[in-house]
Structure 1
Amino acid sequence: MAWNEPGGNSNNQDPWGGRRGGGGGGDRKGPPDLDEAFRKLQDSLNGMFGGKKKSGGNGSGAGKAGGIGLIAIVVAVLAAMWLYSAIYVVDEQEQAVVLRFGKYYETVGPGLNMYFPPMDRKFQENVTRERAYSKQGQMLTEDENIVEVPLTVQYKITNLQDFVLNVDQPEVSLQHATDSALRHVVGSTNMDQVLTEGRELMATETRERLQRFLDNYGTGITVTQVNVQSAAAPKEVQEAFDDVIRAREDEQREKNQAETYANGVIPEARGQAQRIIEEANGYRDAVVSRAEGEADRFSKLLVEYRKAPEVTRERLYLDTLQEVFANTSKVLVTGENGQNNLLYLPLDKMVQGRAPAAAPAQGAATPSSSDTAARIVREMEQRDLRSRESR
Structure 2
Amino acid sequence: MAWNEPGKPGQDPWGNSGNGNRPNDSRKPNGPNDPDLQEILKKAQDFLGGSNDKFGGGKGSFLVVVALIIIWLLSGIYTVDSPERGVVKQFGAYSEQTTAGLHWHIPWPIETVTIVNVDQIRTAEIGYRSDSRNRNGSVPSEALMLSKDENIVDIRIAVQYKVSDAKKYLFDVAVPDMTLRDVTESALREVVGRNTMDFVLTEGRDEVVNKVRNLTQEKLDNYNTGLMITSLNLQDAQPPEQVQDAFADVVKSREDRERLINEAEAYSNDILPKARGQAARQIEEARAYHDQVIARATGQANRFTSILSEYTKAPKVTRERLYIDAISGVLGATSKVFVGSDSGSNLLYLPLDKMVTGGAGNSVPYRIPADAAQSSSNTTNNTNTQSNTQQKGNIRDYLRTRELR
Q: State the TM-score, normalized to the length of structure 2.
A: 0.68
Determine the structure 2 residue equivalent to 1:379. Answer: none
Secondary structure of the equivalent of 1:229?
Answer: strand
Q: 1:264 aligns with which of 265, 270, 279?
A: 270
Correspondence 1:158-169 to 2 at 5 A: 158-169=164-175
Structure 1 distance, partners of 2:10, 2:121, is 81
Structure 1 distance, partners of 2:219, 2:82, is 30
Provide runs of 4+ in structure 1 moved above 4 Å.
7-12, 14-17, 19-23, 28-34, 68-73, 75-81, 321-332, 341-346, 348-351
**Deviations 1:110-141, CA, capped at 9 Å, x for gaps:** 22322332232432201122222222212223
Correspondence 1:301-312 to 2 at 5 A: 301-312=307-318
Following TM superposition, by how much is the alpha carbon of 1:350 offset from its aligned partner in structure 2, in angstroms?
Answer: 8.0
**Deviations 1:224-258, CA, capped at 9 Å, x for gaps:** 22122242222222222222222122111111111
Correspondence 1:58-207 to 2 at 5 A: 79=69, 82-83=72-73, 85-110=75-100, 111-136=102-127, 137-207=143-213
Determine the structure 2 residue equivalent to 1:381. Answer: none
Match status 1:39 vs 2:29: no
**Deviations 1:305-340, CA, capped at 9 Å, x for gaps:** 1221011122223434555677799966332xx333
Following TM superposition, by how much is the alpha carbon of 1:216 offset from its aligned partner in structure 2, in angstroms?
Answer: 0.7
Following TM superposition, by how much is the alpha carbon of 1:262 offset from its aligned partner in structure 2, in angstroms?
Answer: 0.9
Structure 1: gaps of 5 or more residues: 56-64, 352-391
Structure 2 distance, partners of 1:269, 1:35, is 121
Contact 2:340-2:348 at 8 Å conserved across structures: no
Structure 2 distance, partners of 1:326, 1:8, is 170
AA aligned opposite 1:13: S
**Deviations 1:336-379, CA, capped at 9 Å, x for gaps:** xx333567899x9789xxxxxxxxxxxxxxxxxxxxxxxxxxxx
Secondary structure of the equivalent of 1:251?
Answer: helix
Structure 1 distance, partners of 2:195, 2:215, is 15
Change (3 A) 1:342 1:282: farther
Structure 2 distance, partners of 1:41, 1:51, is 11
Secondary structure of the equivalent of 1:248?
Answer: helix
Structure 2 distance, partners of 1:124, 1:194, is 41
Secondary structure of the equivalent of 1:224?
Answer: strand
Determine the structure 2 residue equivalent to 1:339. Answer: 343
Following TM superposition, by how much is the alpha carbon of 1:207 offset from its aligned partner in structure 2, in angstroms?
Answer: 1.6
AA aligned opposite 2:53: K
Aligned residues: 329
Match status 1:316 vs 2:322: yes
Q: State the TM-score, normalized to the length of structure 1.
A: 0.70
Q: Which shows bigger deviation, 231-240 or 174-183? A: 231-240
Q: 1:300 aligns with which of 298, 306, 313?
A: 306
Contact 2:334-2:361 at 8 Å conserved across structures: no
AA aligned opposite 2:344: N
Following TM superposition, by how much is the alpha carbon of 1:261 offset from its aligned partner in structure 2, in angstroms?
Answer: 1.2
Contact 2:105-2:111 at 8 Å conserved across structures: no
Structure 2 distance, partners of 1:21, 1:220, is 74
Match status 1:277 vs 2:277: no
Change (3 A) 1:326 1:163: same
Secondary structure of the equivalent of 1:155?
Answer: strand
AA aligned opposite 2:52: K
Change (3 A) 1:190 1:50: same
Determine the structure 1 residue equivalent to 2:234. Answer: 228
Secondary structure of the equivalent of 1:97?
Answer: strand
Q: Which shows bigger deviation, 174-183 or 9-18? A: 9-18
Change (3 A) 1:200 1:115: farther
Structure 2: gaps of 5 or more residues: 128-142, 352-359, 364-405
How large is the RMSD of aligned CA atoms in angstroms?
4.0
Q: Which shows bigger deviation, 162-171 or 319-328? A: 319-328
Following TM superposition, by how much is the alpha carbon of 1:103 offset from its aligned partner in structure 2, in angstroms?
Answer: 3.2
Q: Which shows bigger deviation, 305-314 or 11-20? A: 11-20
AA aligned opposite 1:246: K
**Deviations 1:163-198, CA, capped at 9 Å, x for gaps:** 122111111111111111222222333333433343
Structure 2 distance, partners of 1:98, 1:19, is 61
Secondary structure of the equivalent of 2:109?
Answer: coil
AA aligned opposite 1:112: H
Change (3 A) 1:151 1:306: same
Determine the structure 2 residue equivalent to 1:360. Answer: none
Identity of aligned residues (%): 41
AA aligned opposite 1:124: I
Structure 1 distance, partners of 2:333, 2:19, is 165
